[in-house]
Amino acid sequence: MLLSAVILTAVGCKKTQESEDVVHDSFSQAKQVVALASPPGDVVGKLVVGYQAWFGCLGDGSPFNSWKTWGPNPPSPGHINVEMWPDVREYTTTYQTGFANLGNGQPAKLFTSYSQQVVNTHFLWMRQNGIDCAALQRFGSALAADPRDLNWRNGNVPMVKAAAETYGRKFFIEYDISGWTNFQSEIKTDWTTRMQTHTSSTAYAKQNGKPVVSLWGIGVSGRPGNNAVWTDVINWFKTQGCYVIIGVKRDWRNDATNMSAYNQANMIQPWTVGSMNGIAGANNYVSTLSADFAYCNSHNQDYQPVAFPGFAWSNWHTGAQNEIPRLHGDFLWRQFYNIRNNNIPSVKVAMFDEYNEGTAIAKAAENASMKPSNQYFLTLDADGVACSSDFYLRLTRDGAKMIKGQIPLTANHPTSHQ
């Protein structure tokens, strides 16, 4: 999912331990009286990650069997679409790029998402780090445009299903309607003829006893449809027995034209990636966060805010390197803190494997020794603190615990950087 970044000023913000304890006590009491639309299930009261699963490599045996999403054939200096270089040490098969060796002398190789071993590894990381559920992205505009894309997406779902079943995680289909001109009819056909069958899996996410489906781009600028179309599609999925999440723009409550469509959804998920910067930016969003949650509660809807670790896409599009800094975990933690401090029980982290926009929490290059020596990539030590490749997975684990009330509310993350 792509949105331009908006840069805001970052300043520090700290609380004393005494005030944190007071806030924690208040949270514990308030949590007992907040009336939520739904009880805890596979998405309410859980931490969900967006899962792209869109990377391909030449020779991987996929429907494309060529470089996909990483960059051109082959990815090489100046020809790369990702901001971060992944840590590939746990994948059994990787593929040679056109880059020079990594700083540590190892060959510059990448992974394919069209691999059961890779998907298994990702879901193992999810289990190890308390990630409850993955929203598997399904980009509708490509399904009819290129049969290879349709076959890729259709073939990838069973891999995700198998991995989720193996590692005790949940997953659900998240449709992205960007550029999908005929989505009103085609999404219904795709669901009934291809995707609905996967809901029989024990790993397919259910909320209120209903299979979950997400529609991203409802009311978002530049996405197809209008109030009547979005209302029709949301309600159609509800007639299919689904629990419907909609991904909407950050300021959705100011959109009176489309409010009747928003009101049909079971869960509202405003998209915030790129729209805030630093601790001050995260704190400035609190009033919106609180008002969104109150609106959803008053309309018997669930609410799922989006948190992200940082943002940059200088290798893929224009923009500054390290445009929205991660602040060695402090930025993401502040978002978790604000969600918990507002008694909100659910969160989506964007994204698990989005190396393109620099939002991935999956394992990534720690420093220059783990990236190609002849190309810029954002590394996890960019903000002056050395972080292990799994730091953001572990930070997400601790954030999930805090939001669920399993550890106290704390302004400073407890996660070790190494």
**pTM for the full predicted model:** 0.92
Query: Helix 116-128 vs helix 147-167: angle between axes, to the nearest 10 degrees?
Result: 40
Residue 207: HSE in the Cβ half-sphere, 13 Å Cα cutoff:
26
Phi, psi of 385, rounded to the nearest 5 degrees = -125, 130
**pLDDT tens-digit series, residues 338-350:** 999 999 999 999 9
pLDDT at 207 over 50: yes
Q: What percent of the chain has pLDDT over 90?
A: 90
Long-range contacts of 218-221 (CB under 8 A, 24+ apart): 218/177, 218/246, 218/247, 218/248, 218/258, 218/261, 218/262, 218/265, 219/246, 219/248, 219/249, 219/252, 219/255, 219/258, 219/261, 219/262, 220/178, 220/247, 220/248, 220/249, 220/271, 221/249
Mean pLDDT of 64-73: 95
- Given this model, what pLDDT does residue 35 score? 74
User: 392 in the Ramachandran plot: left (φ > 0), alpha (ψ -120 to 50) or beta?
Assistant: alpha
Confidence label for 9 from pLDDT (cuts 50, 70 and 90): very low
Reported as a single tens digit per residue, the pLDDT across 226-266 is: 999 999 999 999 999 999 999 999 999 999 999 999 999 99
Cα radius of gyration rounded to whole Å, the chain? 20
pLDDT one-digit tens code per residue, 294-317: 999 999 999 999 999 999 999 999
Partners of 172 in the β-ladder: 135
Please tell me the predicted confidence (pLDDT) of residue 17. 31
Answer for the pair 212, 172: CB distance below 8 angstroms, yes or no. Answer: yes
Average model confidence (pLDDT) across the chain: 92
What integer pLDDT is reported at residue 34 of this predicted model? 62
Q: Which of 360, 393, 369, 328 is nearest to 83 (CA)?
A: 360
Give the span between the Cα atoms of 317 and 356, in whole angstroms.
10
Tell me if 143 sits within 8 A of 179, measured CB to CB: no
State which H helix or E strand residue 95 sits in. strand 95-96
Q: Which two tokens stand for residue 137?
A: 């992205």
Structure confidence at residue 405 (pLDDT): 96
Whether pLDDT at 327 is above 60: yes
What integer is the mean pLDDT of 49-55? 98
pLDDT number for residue 318: 85
Q: Which domains does the chain have, with CATH numbers?
A: 17-403 (3.20.20.80)
Nearest to 113 by CA among 33, 52, 162: 52
Q: How far apart are CA 68 and CA 364, in angstroms?
A: 19
Question: So what's the pLDDT on residue 144?
Answer: 86
Q: Cα–Cα distance between 104 and 115 in angstroms, integer?
A: 26
- Look at residue 407 and tell me whether its pLDDT is greater than 90: yes
Give pLDDT tens digits for 147-157. 999 999 999 99
Q: How confident is the model at residue 12 (pLDDT cuts 50, 70, 90)?
A: very low
Q: How confident is the model at residue 18 (pLDDT cuts 50, 70, 90)?
A: very low
CB atoms inside a 10 Å sphere around CB 4:
12
Work out the average pLDDT over 259-278. 98
Residue 4: per-residue pLDDT = 33
